[in-house]
Amino acid sequence: MTTDALVLDAAAQDLLFREARTANTFTDEPVSDEQIQAIYNLVKFGPTAFNQQPLRVVLVRSAEGRERLVQHMADGNKAKTTAAPLVAILAVDNEFHEELPTQLPHFPQAKDMFFTERPVREASASMNGALQAGYFIIGVRAAGLAAGPMTGYDAAAINKEFFGNGDHSVLAVVNIGKPGEDAWFPRSPRLAYDEVVTTV
């Protein structure tokens, strides 16, 4: 173990990574808007290319909204999405470039130099939105909550149902709450350092 080489203490390392799992069941303890706001206000500082911020989060709280979402989830994800205290749809705004002049004030011309073509924006939004989604999941863990991210759904149907203008694309659906009974599958193996890292 190399935990002593990190500034973050061992308990925080466990909370964010080693002991954290994808949760499949949750208690009925509610997740507040204040908790989600605190999570976002922490993770929004994660790095992205050109400081672009394509991530958009839809909190599904109403019974009507939950029903609209669950019908598009894969069968294996329907029950847990119905039962979770809070569900967040993580999507990207493919028109994120419109905000670049304010988000990248030292280089406002980036909007027109690099992102005039929609396919370029979609590729960049997908990559940087995925980074932000990862930060969001770590933020959920930092709040003492568990996240259950899923990509088993009909993406085209969710995009139409929740983002009818065509400018947004779903990245993941995340169940959020306190872990319930039998929340975890066994920890799956990870590649060792020497299998991943090389030096040249």
Residue 1 has pLDDT above 70, yes or no: no
- Supply the pLDDT for residue 9: 94
Q: Find out whether 175 and 154 touch, Cβ atoms under 8 Å.
A: no
CA-based torsion, 27, 29, 32, 37: positive or negative: negative
Dump pLDDT digits (tens) for 174-191: 999 999 999 999 999 999
Residue 10: pLDDT band (50, 70, 90) is very high
Beta strands in the chain (DSSP E): 55-60, 86-93, 146-150, 168-177
What is the topology classification, in CATH, of domain 31-179? NADH Oxidase (3.40.109)
Q: Is 99 exposed, middle or buried (0-12, 13-18, 19+ CB in 10 A)?
A: middle
Dump pLDDT digits (tens) for 55-97: 999 999 999 999 999 999 999 999 999 999 999 999 999 999 9
**Torsion angle of the four alpha carbons 193, 147, 132, 90, in this order, in degrees rounded to the nearest 10:** 140
Dump pLDDT digits (tens) for 115-162: 999 999 999 999 999 999 999 999 999 999 999 999 999 999 999 999
For helices 63-70 and 75-83, give the axis angle rounded to 10 degrees: 170
Sheet of 55-60: strand order equals 55-60, 86-93, 168-177, 146-150
Residue 4: pLDDT band (50, 70, 90) is confident
- Supply the pLDDT for residue 141: 98
- Supply the pLDDT for residue 97: 97
Residue 3 has pLDDT above 80, yes or no: no
Q: Is the pTM of this model over 0.85?
A: yes
Residue 105: pLDDT band (50, 70, 90) is very high
Q: Where are the domains of the chain?
A: 31-179
